[in-house]
Chain A
Amino acid sequence: DTEVTQTPKHLVMGMTNKKSLKCEQHMGHRAMYWYKQKAKKPPELMFVYSYEKLSINESVPSRFSPECPNSSLLNLHLHALQPEDSALYLCASSQVVSYNEQFFGPGTRLTVL
């Protein structure tokens, strides 16, 4: 299995809702990532997990809360989001050692009303 999967594909939520994005990979990768991509822009790194521990938080607002329950799963918990948080949220995974390809999931298209 050489794919990263993400659910849901689309999510519409209000500013008072709590929702979660899920990401899964079975390639044995021990590094997992969350990126945010706005229309016509490059992906922007949000969080990096290495060996299930948070190693990088790119000063992301606390309304985004990542979680890595095991080596195959990565979640992003959302609470009290703003309309400007609407974007494509991409998950990726790779081997921890550098020089390795990051494999991206198809993304979750999030709309905050």
Chain B
Amino acid sequence: GENVEQHPSTLSVQEGDSAVIKCTYSDSASNYFPWYKQELGKRPQLIIDIRSNVGEKKDQRIAVTLNKTAKHFSLHITETQPEDSAVYFCADLKAAGNKLTFGGGTRVLVKP
């Protein structure tokens, strides 16, 4: 199959706490794993991505980890702020055809 499963579907955290979102993919041919943030009424925007030959990547308060053996990848947001409130989508991409498949999304609410 070509599904990307994403959990949890909703996540409420206190400002300053960490948030973790997990995704599982099924296609061994997937080689690129981006994370998009979509605020209400706005376009999806890339916040971080990771290639299949890398296990971890960090950009300030955001990090992504990839376990190719288990076909898992995760987004970690530390020191959450109210402006982190949005829907986050994981995705995987198959090299053939540039086909991006999204997970179901996680609605994150950061409470001040």
Contact residues of A with B, CB < 8 Å? 31, 33, 40-45, 48, 50, 55-56, 90, 94, 96, 98-99, 101-107
Contacts and interface: CB of A to CB of B under 8 A. Distances in A.
Contacts, number: 57
A18 B93 CA distance: 33
A42 B51 contact: no
Interface of B: 31-32, 34, 36, 42-46, 49, 51, 89, 93, 95, 97-105
Contacts of A41: 104-105
A107 B41 CA distance: 9
Given A42-B102, A104-B45, A106-B42, A55 B97 contact: yes
A103 B104 CA distance: 19
29 contacts: A31-B98, A33-B100, A40-B105, A42-B89, A42-B102, A43-B44, A44-B102, A45-B100, A45-B101, A48-B98, A48-B99, A50-B97, A50-B98, A55-B97, A55-B98, A56-B99, A90-B44, A98-B31, A98-B95, A98-B98, A99-B32, A99-B51, A101-B34, A101-B46, A102-B34, A102-B100, A104-B44, A104-B45, A106-B42
